[in-house]
Structure 1
Amino acid sequence: MSTGTSISNSTLHRFEKIALLEGISFLLLVCIAMPLKYWADFPIAVKYAGWLHGVLFIAYFFTLIQCWIAYDWKFGRVILFFIASLIPFAPFFVEKKLKKEETRA
């Protein structure tokens, strides 16, 4: 049974880290790359920051599904965490909440 706990803890830890990285990439895209594109005529910044954010967003979504299954999270929590990925700064709150839960577990 400890193997299942180890898998769940690593899944939660992975989701926690991906939430942090996804939040950073979103802010990088919106606060740095987009202004560079429109104010400094440097569109390549959006290309790469957008690509990075897209990959992290997909990783966030799939890891969220893995946590949903591993922890038997309620549907409302999963939806709340998904919506958090769409709002600037919200993934940082998800990461903080998960870190607290991981510490308790």
Structure 2
Amino acid sequence: MQGKTTTMTKLINVFRIIAFLEGVSYILLLGIATPIKYLSGDPQYVKMLGMPHGILFIAYIIVALFIARKLQWKNSTTGIVLLASIIPFGTFYIEKKYLKTTV
């Protein structure tokens, strides 16, 4: 049983990192890259940040669903965790609210 707990703890720590990076990339994309694109006509930053953010977003969703199943989260909790990925600063809220008390 100890091995499962350690594995889950590691997975949650990986999820915390993914959530943080996804949140930061989203804020940079919305707060810096997109305004530069539309104010100066330079899409370079959106192109540069778009792909890493997309990969982090997909990783966040996949790992969140896996953790939700393993920890038997309610559908409402899972929905909130998933919804947080599309709300600026949402992943930071999830880390504080749901992941600090897990495992």
Scaled by the length of structure 2, the TM-score of the pair is 0.92
Aligned equivalent of 1:60: 60
Percent identity over paired residues: 38
Number of aligned pairs? 103
SS at match of 1:61: helix
**Contact 1:23–1:92, Cα closer than 8 Å, also in 2:** yes
Scaled by the length of structure 1, the TM-score of the pair is 0.90
SS at match of 1:25: helix
Equivalent-residue separation in structure 1 for 2:20 and 2:59 (angstroms):
12
More deviation in 69-78 or 25-34? 69-78
**Structure 2 unaligned spans of 5+:** none
**Structure 1 unaligned spans of 5+:** none
Q: CA deviation at 1:99?
A: 4.5
Aligned equivalent of 2:12: 12
Equivalent-residue separation in structure 2 for 1:97 and 1:7 (angstroms):
21
SS at match of 2:100: helix
Aligned equivalent of 1:35: 35
Equivalent-residue separation in structure 2 for 1:42 and 1:95 (angstroms):
34
Aligned equivalent of 1:75: 75
Q: CA deviation at 1:12?
A: 1.2
More contact order relative to length (CA 8 Å, sep ≥ 6)? 1
Equivalent-residue separation in structure 2 for 1:10 and 1:75 (angstroms):
23
Aligned equivalent of 1:100: 100
Coordinate RMSD, CA, aligned: 1.3
**Contact 1:16–1:98, Cα closer than 8 Å, also in 2:** no
Q: After TM superposition, what 4+ stretches of structure 1 lie above 3 angstroms from structure 2?
A: none
**Contact 1:11–1:66, Cα closer than 8 Å, also in 2:** no
Q: CA deviation at 1:85?
A: 0.6
